[in-house]
Amino acid sequence: MSTNRVLKISSADMVARARARITEIGAIEAVHLHGDPGVIFVDIRDIRERQRQGFIPGSIHAPRGMLEFWFDPASPYARSELMTDKTYILHCASGWRSALAASTLLDMGLEVAHIREGFSGWVESKGPVEHPIDRRNA
């Protein structure tokens, strides 16, 4: 697809800027942190990705579109399970969306990191994966 559109900043540049200011951890390190009581894994992928590919056991699903509202205790959409002083480790599929999301939560004053390689890196690093129950076959 060809276009003459000129952006002020590209999505790749936005991700690079976010990565320059946030904490990134590798997938192998994330796997080792799984089960740490001071860490909460937050899956920002779309619900369909989670259903198709599975998810990190114990992770909280907080889609990127609602992230700021779910983490803000003053928001009518605040989620109680996200109101902790624990370290949040975000992930998406490949690390781009979660880098942007981590940058946003950092702006909000939260202690946050993200998995550089995303869920695909988690799977490649042999991290545990849980699959949703298919209620049609249950």
pLDDT tens readout for residues 36-62: 999 999 999 999 999 999 999 999 999
How confident is the model at residue 77, as a pLDDT? 97
The pTM for the full model equals 0.91
Q: At what angle do helices 11-21 and 96-107 cross, to 10 degrees?
A: 50
- Contacts of residue 97, defined as CB under 8 A and 6 or more positions apart, other chains included, come to 44, 45, 64
How confident is the model at residue 21, as a pLDDT? 97
User: What CATH class does 12-124 carry?
Assistant: alpha beta
Overall average pLDDT of the 111-137 stretch: 89
Residue 138 clears pLDDT 50, i.e. is over it:
no
How confident is the model at residue 5, as a pLDDT? 85
